[in-house]
Amino acid sequence: MGGNFDYIEVKDMDREKIAQVWAHQVEQSRYEDGRSYSGQIGMLSEEIGGWHDLGLDYSAAQEWLSDNHNKWEPALAVSYYAQPKPEINVKALAKISVHQKSIADLVESYKKAYTDMTDAFKSAKSNMVGCKTCNSKLNRTYLKPMPSHSSYNLERGVQNLGTQGYFCPVCKSSLQTDSQIERLRKIVAKIQPHLDKIKELSAVKREFVKDPNQKHWLIGGWCPS
Ligand SMILES: [Zn+2]
């Protein structure tokens, strides 16, 4: 013989009226589900065994009822405040969009700096270029740059943004000047703090408000099954 957790939800009103709703629902359950180990509220008494005006949120009220009601005892009533699922609050959303705009601007300037860098390499007068790392002499016209990635996300951050440009096919070192690479790195470094801030703001949820118009009761408990 087991137990099934069952309850009803009733909007706050006169307790006498709530008790009437409960008794009616118990009768209804007996009619629909039977009187023998149905696992439904029809297995509980028509009387409410105790009122607990705790004003919890919905899931806490469910938990409280499940923890505090004993099978074969009359149903318990516990109050809660119904409200929509917590969402990112409005102020946080406004701040997030400011950071998103900053990131979009930084990505634009990154793309521009990347194009400036590779254009400068392509348009150099001399056809030959020397690799400072392995001393290879390379023909500029056959070289291809690393693609410019503008992908980033909140989890991975910005480490995937390419900063190498043209590179030596022999030793894979960048053929761009240090100052060109530095310009790109500086832009990339400015993106990460905005991503961090967005992550932080996304966690700011609307507060749990005890709105008297949203007060309800959970009534029920463990029903023999
Ligand atoms: Zn090299």
Residue 154 confidence (pLDDT) above 80: no
DSSP 8-state symbol, 39: S
Q: 161 C-alpha to center of ligand 1: Å?
A: 22
Q: How far apart are CA 154 and CA 197, in angstroms?
A: 10
Q: How far apart are CA 123 and CA 120, in angstroms?
A: 5
pLDDT band at 213; cut points 50, 70, 90 = confident
Residue 67: exposure state from Cβ atoms within 10 A (0-12, 13-18, ≥19): exposed
Q: 173 C-alpha to center of ligand 1: Å?
A: 6
Pairing of strands 75-81, 48-57: parallel
Tokens of 124: 């150099």
Q: 3 C-alpha to center of ligand 1: Å?
A: 74
What pTM does this model have?
0.53
* Cα 181-182-183 angle, rounded to 5 deg: 90
Q: How far apart are CA 185 and CA 177, in angstroms?
A: 13
Q: 175 C-alpha to center of ligand 1: Å?
A: 8
Q: 137 C-alpha to center of ligand 1: Å?
A: 9
Q: 130 C-alpha to center of ligand 1: Å?
A: 8
Q: What is the pLDDT of residues 60-105, one digit of tens each?
A: 999 999 999 999 999 999 999 987 666 778 888 899 999 999 988 9
Domain segments of the chain: what residues? Answer: 3-84+208-224, 90-202
The amino acid present at 42, given as its one-letter code, is G
Output b/e per residue, 186-219; b: 16+ Cβ within 10 A: ebbebbeebbebbeebeeeeeeeeeeeeebbbbb
Q: 119 C-alpha to center of ligand 1: Å?
A: 20
Q: 187 C-alpha to center of ligand 1: Å?
A: 26
Q: What is the pLDDT of residues 3-27, one digit of tens each?
A: 999 999 999 999 999 999 999 999 9
Give percent of the chain above pLDDT 70: 90
Residue 119: exposure state from Cβ atoms within 10 A (0-12, 13-18, ≥19): exposed
